[in-house]
Structure 1
Amino acid sequence: MHRSIVRTGIAAAVACVFLPLGGCGNGGDSGTGSSGTAPATTTSVSGTVAAGSALVGANVTLIDATGAQATATTNAQGAYSIPVKGMTLPFFIIATDAGGLSAPLSSVVARLPTGTAPAVANVTTLTTALAAMLTASGNPIELASNSTLAKLTLQSVQLATITLDTILTNLLKQNGLQTAGFDSIGTAFTPNHTGADAVIDSVSLVTGANGGRALASNAAPTTTIVLNNKTAQGVVLAAPPVAANYLEPLAPLLSACAANGALNNTSCSPAIDTAFKESGSNDLATAHGLTDSAMTGAVFGSPKTLAFFMRNGKQLALVQLPLTLANGTPAVLYSIAQPLATPVTLTSGMQLGWNLIGDQSSFAVAIMSHIQRRTYLDTRLSDVNRYESGLDIKIPTASNPNVYSASVTGPGLAAPVWLMPRSASGSSSLGLADSALSAPPVTPATTGSNTSQYRWSWQSRSSTASFTPPASTGFYAAQSLDAGSVPLYSTYTVTFYDINGAQRGQSSVINPGRPLNAAAGSSIPWPTLLMNDATTQFLTPGTALADVQYALSVTWSGLVNDGLNLAYPVTSTGIAAAAQTSAGGEQVNGFTLGPANNTTGGQYQATVRAGVDPAGVQTCTNCPFPALTAGGSRLIQLSGARDGTESLDITQYND
């Protein structure tokens, strides 16, 4: 729903654009005043990189109008400084967090202040939203191209600033900031969950259905504002019902529990409620496929609220829990928080007013948005290079021993989507049915689809070839959906059945990712599978590595956009191989987990072994990847996730 923005004081704000620097605002370097007459003598740009919390160790790259680059790394407070002497305005700044689990943040500098003081250029959720409003597509990475950046004007930055301030009116007012003339780029701030940082805490910058950026408040996430250079009307975002730092006591409490190796509902009270249950477990680690021993020593960061919502007459919150495991691996968990009837006073003197209650599901299940890029090396007419998107529905078999199948209903699903046991070796979760079902399957039925990724949108990457999904399958929608019609953070009902088709129970599951159309694939910085001798031979019939193989070393690059390392971090490398013979098809999967070896700048390597499931468990012995012969197929998959959305880059050969 959209309506015209009522812009309080907008006439005065527009006037500020054309007044001398001292007449309005705070004199920041982002372009809220005119350029003045004195020459710019500033030799450095500095600021804070934050997405609610400071991003420590973030890689910051500044690109000028000629394409020249300078880099820096943020300190423990998220601060950075980059020398700019001799560089040409305007500047585009892009920052990537050390773990790569959040999308890159962006900022722009359209002018430098007079004098010798460093120019302030923050890089935050808000500045990224503003940068998105300076592009036609809403994707701020467009500005990394110096030909595009050189066309950026001071006036366009000023007008985008005014529009953003209007959108944020309620949030700025709630946190004691001026509602007209607020400069998100040039105003120095401290990432302490108050003031400007509290505004950042209260909003989410999500990928739009078609790949641009959209802004939403956690108070009313079903209302999103699409950001691009035509964003001029829309709603004023709602302010949240509690202060932005309301969950701050949870981080040290959870870290203390992790230090003791106990994240369950009895040993980690009051942070984890005694009634906590999530994905069938009373333990936060187990609920997310981790062991308490793996979580021992983990350090939790500041929780991020994605959405406040009501369930059974009670206000709850969908929260994101960032953490760093003891081995240095970054991770993100999603859970549900609730208000306490009586706040708890901690030994530190802080008041804990909310704790984790979990999704209250008796079954292990997770649903998140997915998007994939498929590249075919063969020449079959039906194998069209394409993007696909939809929902990834993960129901692990080991955690649900009495579950044989499940159906899923909810936004974007015209009919129940069914999952059942897979026929492939090396699998640890139910797969989508490979044909449309009207009733729960019973033992010994299995599916050959070998996927948990339901597709509701698809688009050819070729201007000359089109793709039509096969009819009557269980993992393609009957017709393509516009994901823009699916609300952010939608809830899905999952019904579970046993081997005889009898119902075992139901769960309500929230998707923490943004629903996407396949068209969004063209805006994603994808990793590049390096087609070296080993990879090429493994995916080519008649070569030395086309024979039976037990393992393969896979190499890829994360460098995109003129050498920027912006591709999503690959956290799971997979291989699926099938041999179609007269005796029946044989299909074997293999996966490797965790961060890959960084061989050189921007290049990574991992070894995938046959029969290893996505949890890293060897599920079978002497089950190599079958040879790539007549009628067979092989694929290599590079998977990772950002902001609740899974991305998969798939390179495949079908004989």
Structure 2
Amino acid sequence: MKRSSTQLRMALTAIAGAAAVCACGGGSDSSPSSPPAASVQGTVASGAAIANAALTATDVNGKTATATAGADGTYTLDVGQLSAPVVVVATDPQGRADPLVSVIATLPAAGASSTVNVTTLTTAIGDLLTASGNALDLTAPATLGANVQPAAVQKASGTLNSALADILQQNGLSASSFDAIATPFAANQTGADAVIDSVQLLRNGSGTTLVSNGSPAQGLALNNQTTAPAAPLAAPPVAANTLGFMSGLLKACLSAQVAQRGTNASCAAAFDSHYMDNGYTSVDDYVAAFQLATSVGASVGQPVTLQYFKDASNTQSALVRIPYTLTDGTQGSFVTTAHQLAAPITLPDGSTASWNLVGNQLKYDARTESRVTLRTFLDSFADSTGNPDVSHYDAGMSFVFNPQGPNASNVNAVQVTGPGLPTGGLFLFRSSACGTANYLAIPGTKPATLPPTSSLTVASDTNEYRWSWQTVAGAATTFTPPSKYFWDTSQLDPSSVPFYPQYTYELFDSSGNPLDSFTVTSATPVVSANLGATTPWATVGQDVVANFLTPGGSAAGAATTASVDWTPNADAPPLLGVAVLTLGKSTAGVDGVTSVPGGATSATVTAGVDSTGAQTCAGSQFLPLVDGNYRIVQLRAKNANGVRFFQNVTYRDGASAPNAS
């Protein structure tokens, strides 16, 4: 999906200034004036305007020019020194949107200007121009020159318009004349911007699909073999600006002190009186970050509607992701459900609204998320397959159930069934690893009796099911998955699973009696391991490797804390947290997790602290790096579609150390 940082950030070519010529004589001086440069301007938006977006234009010869967008997403770029065709890439400094792409098949003449928007729609056109369906491939000059020609761009634009015909018509635009690249617009949730708000580009590592939030099950795969669809994508059932008021309302809610939000008028207007997400009736409990002092005054982005649906009472509802940034720069987002009200309500500013946030109405703290992991091994010991540890990518789903959450005290085991899982599903249990008290884990070995008829605790500390894998380029041998309960035996085709799949969670007590069951909708697209291979990653510091991840290093002994530093990659998904995971062949695991603010390059991780910040086993220490143990330093990130990216840098000390794949 993303090219390497070197491709996205080519060095800016120096442009020589014209030398002034002095002609003396006849009592007058004259200097020839330089002709005005050609330029392009437009709007950078993925629905919401991308404030302060960084733009890089790369031409067919590899020459570049740069610009920065304003707060409203508009920009102007001097292209006078570039040669057509040109690709423009815009990156979001806040990481709320994936890189956006646009193309220029023909440059304006000297002194002239033309509109070149950089949006979700123009990125889709770029996707349609490539064999892979990844518009960022066009940053390679050879690919750019071969694929971005006027006729090809016109064809791609026509294919896109055919797919969007109903959505364009809904917003007063014509599929026969709309030009996503060249039509000026403002990011105000009307017209072209409303069309952008209505669609998403879902990238799974195997390709890119354009979907409408009116019906995500119907999508258009994008590449240079794509033709106009037989039927256009479904238009949303309500206007794109239906939830436009929510960003400001939530910002006003979060401006209140945490203790005062229960009586705050903006909070009361934003959240339904029956609001409940994952068993929590307060958003401050559902989103743990909102309990922090840095949440007071947090900024809130425009809600992204993932899909519209009718709930059990036939009320129009929407699954939405809402991004936020705390005052210390920490970024995050939460997924919730909005619904249409029977009658409008009056907001604190005197305006009215017909929607509010009601939550998913689940009684339990549970969720399902797509995940990609890069597992880098620093050792060469044999693993459980008898082969040396091999660095690889794997992808799958994380199935999260919090046994410390609401209504879960009697839960001993959870069975999860649904798309992509083996017959009979998966069972998760409480883990003996320190630092895992707030989630259940999938055991490495399938228990003989399911559901178990007695209390069961497992040594595993993972809730990640792995159904796709790929060896890292340059590895000496090919990765072979171990025979573990949390590994599938065959690779999953992501296209075989719906974009927002549903999974059934069935709960059991310690005697194996069923307690309850419910359905969880994943708000993330299913992805393949190849997504990891095409995504940039941060780099863990060499001092961490030498001191903490090398036997005999200065920090290789047992310790209550670990210092981790890294070099960020500006093109990688935003980093949200750091974890340290340790386990021994005969010693219970000790883990620790900490969140990190935006722009951070180091963190201290404390043993036994879970992802909520709670100390779950006081006095614990990370296991030493000695024979039979392993250590993992894990960087945690999340992209704009909510997919988690885990980067595990691992040292297994000895062949007897537990498998770390």
TM-score (norm 2): 0.85
Which residue pairs with 2:46 in the alignment?
51
> Cα distance, 1:363 vs. partner?
0.7
One-letter code of the match for 1:386? H
Alpha-carbon distance, 1:409 to partner: 1.6
Determine whether 1:485 maps to 2:496: yes
Q: What aligned pairs does 1:173-572 form with structure 2 within 5 A after superposition? A: 173-208=169-204, 210-234=205-229, 235-260=231-256, 261=258, 268-294=267-293, 295-314=295-314, 315-346=316-347, 348=349, 350-379=351-380, 380=382, 381-400=387-406, 402=409, 403-414=411-422, 415-427=424-436, 428-437=438-447, 439-441=450-452, 444-461=455-472, 465-471=477-483, 473-530=484-541, 532-559=542-569, 565-572=570-577
Q: C-alpha root-mean-square deviation of aligned residues, in Å? A: 2.4
Contact 2:83 2:107 in 1 (8 A): no
Q: Identity, % of aligned pairs? A: 37
In structure 2, what residue type is equivalent to 1:404?
A: N
Post-superposition offset of 1:146: 2.7
CA contact (8 A) 2:329 2:599 kept: no
Contact map agreement 1:265 1:273 (CA 8 A) in 2: no
Task: For 1:326 and 1:554, locate their aligned partners in 2 and report how far apart those are by CA, in whole Å.
Answer: 23
CA contact (8 A) 1:66 1:88 kept: yes
- Change in CA separation of 1:308 and 1:534 when aligned onto 2, cut-off 3 Å: closer
Q: Which amino acid aligns with 1:470?
A: P
What is the match of residue 588 of structure 1?
Answer: 590
Change in 2 beyond 3 A, CA 1:263/1:132: farther
Residue 601 of structure 1 corresponds to: none
Corresponding residue for residue 649 of structure 1: 647
Number of aligned positions between the proteins = 600
Mapped pair 1:121 → 2:110? no
SS at match of 1:432: coil
Evaluate the alpha carbon distance shift between residue 534 and residue 518 of structure 1 in structure 2; reply closer, same or farther with a 3 A threshold.
closer
Cα shift at 1:230: 1.1
Q: Is the 8 A contact 2:121 2:196 kept in 1?
A: yes
| Aligned residue in 1 for 2:658 | none
Distance in 2 of aligned mates of 1:197 and 1:230: 27
* SS across alignment from 2:302: coil
Superposed displacement of residue 548, structure 1: 2.5
Q: Which moved more, 1:186-195 or 1:248-257?
A: 248-257
Separation of aligned partners in 2, 1:160 and 1:41: 32
Deviation at 1:318, TM superposition (A): 0.6
Tell me which amino acid in the other structure corresponds to 2:482: P
Q: Secondary structure at the match of 1:161?
A: helix
How far, CA to CA, are the matches of 2:349 and 2:635 in structure 1? 44
Q: Distance in 2 between matches of 1:72 and 1:126?
A: 21
Q: Give 1:562's aligned residue.
A: none
SS in structure 2 at match of 1:150 = helix
Q: Is the 2:336–2:357 contact (alpha carbons within 8 Å) kept by the matching residues of 1?
A: yes
Distance 2:599 2:237 in 1: 44
SS of residue matched to 1:101:
coil
Q: Could you tell me whether the CA contact under 8 Å between 2:160 and 2:228 is conserved in 1?
A: no
2:522, 2:539 → 1: CA distance?
Answer: 28
Q: Does the 8 A contact of 1:420 with 1:441 survive in 2?
A: no
Please say if residues 376 and 653 of structure 1, whose CA atoms lie closer than 8 Å, have aligned partners that are also in contact: yes
| Partner secondary structure for residue 70 of structure 2 | coil
- Please give the secondary structure, in 1, of the residue aligned with 2:227: coil
| SS of structure 1 residue aligned to 2:121 | helix
1:573 aligns with 2:578: yes
Q: Deviations over 1:424-443 (max 9, x none)?
A: 11223221232224523466
What SS class does the counterpart of residue 249 from structure 2 fall into?
Answer: helix
Distance in 1 separating the partners of 2:261 and 2:520: 21
The residue aligned with 1:32 is: none
Q: 2:158 aligns with which of 137, 159, 162?
A: 162
For residues 446 and 630 of structure 1, the distance between their equivalents in structure 2, rounded to whole angstroms, comes to: 25
Cα displacement string for residues 589-625 of structure 1 (whole angstroms, at most 9, x for unaligned residues)? 1222122655xxxxx3333332222222333333222
**What secondary structure sits across from 2:270 in the alignment?**
coil
User: Unmatched 5+ residue regions in structure 1?
Assistant: 1-39, 560-564, 599-603
Map Cα deviations across residues 27-67 of structure 1 (whole Å, 9 max, x no partner): xxxxxxxxxxxxx9643322211111111122222222233
1:290–1:508: structure 2 CA closer, same or farther, 3 Å change rule? Answer: farther
Kept in 2: contact 1:552–1:609 (CA 8 A): yes
Deviations 1:129-172 (A, max 9, x none): 11111211111221222332233323222211111111111111
Write out per-residue CA displacement over residues 620-651 of structure 1, whole angstroms, 9 at most, x where no aligned residue: 33322222121221111111111121111112
Q: How does 1:51-130 map to 2 (within 5 A)?
A: 51-114=46-109, 116-130=111-125
Question: Which amino acid is the alignment partner of residue 591 of structure 2?
Answer: N
Q: Deviations along 1:54-91, whole A, 9 cap, x unmatched?
A: 11122222222233333333222111222223123222
CA–CA distance in structure 2, aligned partners of residues 608 and 64 of structure 1: 44
Secondary structure of 1:487's counterpart equals: coil
TM-score (norm 1): 0.86
Q: Which amino acid aligns with 1:512?
A: A
Q: Deviations over 1:326-369 (max 9, x none)?
A: 33433211111111111224454543122111111111112111
